[in-house]
Chains A and B, each alone.
Chain A
Amino acid sequence: MTEYQKPLPDPDDELTAPFWCAARRHTLVVQQCTACSYLRWPPGPLCPECQAPGGVWVEVRPTGSLWSYAVYYRALDPAFKEDVPYTVGLVELDDGPRMYGPVIGEVGTFAVDQPVRAVFEEVIPGVTLVRWELVSAEMH
């Protein structure tokens, strides 16, 4: 197996460690404001709606729809050269927040607003990344 060359998170980062910890358990979490209940993504030190500090991490459904996607035929970051063509999507979670992430599956099968679900993949020991795949009709 070749070494993973692409950008990796610091799973011990103070702000985002709960996300990576949950990903290792194959669950998806985002921050929720304890004052106004707003679900926020990406993570931050305070609530952008009501400015209350902190927040708690809560599990959200690992499903959503593909708001849009881009298919990279050129590895504009050379670390991705083995992957082209690869797809990055903007996923609108069924619980509200929107996340960018890799979309796995055959290029050409994707369409805007299609349902997707999270796939958890351990890329190196201790680091599990979240990717997205289409929920095909027969799986409903």
Chain B
Amino acid sequence: MSAVSKTAIVGVGATEQGEIPGQSGDEIAVRAAMLALADAGIDKRQIDGLVTCKPPRARVRTGIDEDLGRLLGINPAFAKTLEYGACGFSLHVAAMAITSGLANTVLLTYGTNQRSARANFSRPIGGSSDWSAMAGLVHVAGPAAMAARRHMQVYGTTDEQLGWVSVAQREWAASNPMAIFREPMTIDDYLAQPYIVAPLRRADLTMISDGGAAVVLTSAERAADFRKAPVHVVAMAQQSALRNDQDKDRLMRPWIADIARRVYAGAGLGASAIDLAYLQDATSVWVLQMLEWFGFCGVGEAGPFLAAGHTRPGGALPVNTNGGQLSESYMWNWLHLYEAVRQLRKECGERQIAKADVALHAQTHDFFKGAATILSIHDQS
């Protein structure tokens, strides 16, 4: 079961990132939306769909389509808010709306002031949250550290190998003016950082940030009418792991391999055809896992793969060339899509990858859900 979407991204927008005091998440989302519409060369009357999502752990009502539609002044044919809308999940809903005929051109927008609003991420995540809270197992760092520790002991992965996830992304961020964390970080700098939740350090964990990002998606046949070259959504796949605590290897998330198999089948290609990979990085451990489950290396081999420098600038598989959430900004994978589209459009200047024709964009929702999309400059890869 794989989905071939026949849709294309024709506009992207991103606001400044970091701290945006005095603005609500919705105000930021509207600004991002206007930037995406401008990038697409259209105005709001040319969209007939709106997809929004609630930011994680927001203290106030934010990101609801009813509110954003009012602020944007639109009456779309289709409008939807995702409870959990990390970028790919939202993108897939928009693609479904277009392929099913509910809408022709959908605006997706996300904005958050979670840093300025001091959203609390130090709570248990996952299934048995009361039991986790009693044990002090709070923040995604806890279960991610367990997954990393298990990987280290079973496969021999080292701190240094894991460290190359965030060091490589920091190298990419150095040439991204939008990135919050751009100061150089060597592997020795990384190893000198104290543990937060061993074996994870500060650099292994996404910091919370304010910001916004937006996307315009349309049908493949309409895409040619827009200002910029379309980036085609060639294939999509998802998987949920709702059994949660009942699954033995829950923290390793082996079901991501099912997403990989389906999304590659949908696109008619394999891992070797991917020029760029955008792997959502709430923690560095998620990148470690996804490199394996998406078949860029064997299971258990991500440590040596990372240490060989494949994901760094100049490497064979550029990963998170925006710096990712670890160095650029915590935008729930929206900026990974922004970067992927701009790489495929060859707009990334100093960090532009020469061969940037096919990209993988993937994310997960803690231990429950994942989604992946293959993006290409061609309508069929």
Residues of A at under 8 Å CB distance from B?
Answer: 6-9, 40-42, 48-49, 67-77, 79-80, 83, 85-86, 88, 90, 92, 98-102, 111-113, 129
Contacts and interface: CB of A to CB of B under 8 A. Distances in A.
Interface in B122-139: 122-123, 127-128, 130-139
B149 interface: yes
Contacts of B146: 67-70, 88, 90
Given A74-B196, A112-B149, A41 B245 contact: yes
B56 to A, nearest CB: 16
Contact of B135 (A88, A98, A111): A88
Contacts of A92: 248
Interface residues of B, number: 34
Contact of B150 (A40, A68, A80): A68
A6 B142 CA distance: 17
Given A71-B195, A90-B146, A102 B243 contact: no
A7 B194 contact: no
A100 B147 contact: no
Nearest to B134: A7
Interface of B: 122-123, 127-128, 130-139, 141-143, 145-147, 149-150, 153-154, 194-198, 243, 245-246, 248, 251
Contacts of B147: 68
B349 to A, nearest CB: 37
A92 B195 CA distance: 25
A77 B132 CA distance: 11
A92 B248 CA distance: 9
A6 B136 contact: yes
Contacts of A77: 122-123, 133, 136, 138
Nearest to A8: B134
Contacts of B251: 68, 90
Contact of A74 (B132, B134, B197, B243): B197
Which 7 residue pairs spanning A and B have beta carbons closest together?
A70-B145, A112-B153, A42-B128, A71-B198, A68-B146, A68-B150, A76-B122
Nearest to A101: B135
B153 A113 contact: yes
Given A68-B147, A88-B135, A113-B153, A48 B197 contact: no
A5 B302 CA distance: 41
A128 to B, nearest CB: 12
A116 B144 CA distance: 21
B130 A71 contact: no
B153 A111 contact: yes
Contacts of A83: 136
B321 to A, nearest CB: 30
A99 B143 contact: no
A111 B146 CA distance: 11
B127 A42 contact: yes
Nearest to B200: A70
B145 A100 contact: no
B133 A72 contact: no
A80 B142 CA distance: 14
Given A6-B136, A41-B245, A101-B135, A70 B196 contact: no
A75 to B, nearest CB: 8
A73 to B, nearest CB: 5
Contact of A72 (B128, B131, B136): B136
Given A42-B127, A77-B138, A70 B197 contact: yes
Contact of A70 (B122, B133, B134, B142): B142
Nearest to A90: B146
A25 to B, nearest CB: 19
23 contacts: A6-B136, A8-B134, A41-B245, A42-B131, A42-B245, A49-B246, A68-B146, A68-B149, A68-B251, A69-B146, A70-B137, A70-B198, A71-B145, A72-B196, A73-B198, A76-B122, A76-B138, A76-B197, A88-B135, A88-B137, A90-B251, A92-B248, A98-B248
A42 B245 CA distance: 8
Nearest to A19: B131
Nearest to B123: A77
Contacts of A48: 243, 246
